[in-house]
Structure 1
Amino acid sequence: MAKDHSNFFNDVYEVVRLIPRGRVTSYGAIANYLGTKGSARMVGWAMNAAHGLSDVPAHRVVNRTGILTGKHHFETPSLMQERLEAEGVEVIGDKIQQFDRVFWDPSAELSL
């Protein structure tokens, strides 16, 4: 039986809504937090489907090295960077600068 992707996508969106302004996380960190380590690609698919959802700050989710791999899924290729810079995140050459300083790990930040 196939897993219900809509529930997984909604779980991803709930985590993404919690990422603070000026911070970023990775697809893999979200997958790990949701107990589906190794499903970073599924998180990516969820994020690609999130661009019509105004309450999901998709621009705050990047790859594990801080590269704006999802930028082509925004209305314009520069919009992801513009949104991050508006929050004080420095981006040069599609890569977040001082990535370790702005990285938000949901497993640490949302621990019970």
Structure 2
Amino acid sequence: MKEDLIYEILSVVEEIPQGNVATYGQIARLIGREKNARLVGKALSVAQYYGDYPCHRVVNHAGRLVPGWKEQGELLKEEGVPFRDSTHVDIKKCIWDC
């Protein structure tokens, strides 16, 4: 994956306000690649090598957290993001209106 694409994705992630979440598909649409939600996920999986970005604010279309990343839920709860259950945010109440 090219670094310029990774930085393009991360620049959108950087804009997600505290207390809100965005979906992989939403970010893909914002960079003009609406059918590439998985590409966004792949870029976020290596984000730690490119700086400090609020990747914890990105969830799937149903509001599901990343499996196995328990810190994601903790970080979102600290920001006041509402949850439906232990693995899903209440996407209707906290989706980023961009």
* TM-score, structure 1 normalization: 0.79
Consecutive unaligned residues of structure 1, counting only runs of 5 or more, are none
Please tell me whether residue 82 in structure 1 is matched to residue 74 in structure 2. yes
TM-superposed CA distance for 1:84, in Å, is 0.1
TM-superposed CA distance for 1:52, in Å, is 4.6
Identity %: 34
Consecutive unaligned residues of structure 2, counting only runs of 5 or more, are none
| 8 Å contact from structure 1 (residues 27, 41) kept in 2 | yes
1:41 corresponds in structure 2 to 38
Q: CA RMSD in A?
A: 1.6
CA distance in 2, matches of 1:53, 1:83: 20
2:95 corresponds in structure 1 to 103
TM-superposed CA distance for 1:6, in Å, is 1.2
The alignment of Structure 1 onto Structure 2 pairs a total of residues equal to 97
TM-superposed CA distance for 1:50, in Å, is 1.1
Structure with greater Cα Rg = 1
Q: Report the residue type matching 1:94 in the other structure.
A: T
Moved over 3 A (4+): 51-54
